Amino acid sequence: PSASGPSASGAWTNGASSPTPKMESAYTTIGDKIYIIAGYGETGKRNKNSVEVYDTATDTWTTAAPVPVNLNHAAAATIDGKIYLVGGYLDDKIPSNKLFIYDPSTNQWQEGKSMPTARAALTAQSAGGILYAVGGTDESNPLTVNEAYDPATQTWTTKAPMPTPRQHMASGVLDDVLYVIGGRPKGKGSNIDNNEAYDPRTDTWTAKAPMPTPRGGIAAATVTSNGEIYVFGGEAPEKTFDNTEIYNPTTDSWSTGPPMPTARHGLAAADVGGKIYVIGGGPTPDISFANVVEILNVASNAAAAAASS
Measured CA to CA, the distance from residue 21 to residue 198 in angstroms comes to: 33
- Please give the share of the chain, as a percent, with pLDDT higher than 90: 89
pLDDT, position 305:
63
How does the average pLDDT of the chain come out, rounded? 93
- Give pLDDT, residue 157: 98
Judge whether 218 and 182 are in contact, CB under 8 Å: yes
pLDDT tens for each residue of 92-103? 889 999 999 999
Q: What is the pLDDT of residues 6-57, one digit of tens each?
A: 333 459 999 999 999 999 999 999 999 999 999 998 765 677 899 999 999 9
**Residue 2 has what pLDDT?**
30
pTM value is: 0.94
Confidence at residue 47, expressed as pLDDT on a 0 to 100 scale = 75
pLDDT digits (tens, 9 = 90+) for 133-178: 999 999 899 999 999 999 999 999 999 999 999 999 999 999 999 9
Read out DSSP for 178-230? EEEE--BSSSTT-----EEEEETTTTEEEE-PPPSS--BS-EEEEETTTTEEE
- Contact status, residue 182 vs residue 192, Cβ threshold 8 Å: yes
pLDDT tens-digit readout, 220-246:
999 999 999 999 999 999 999 999 999
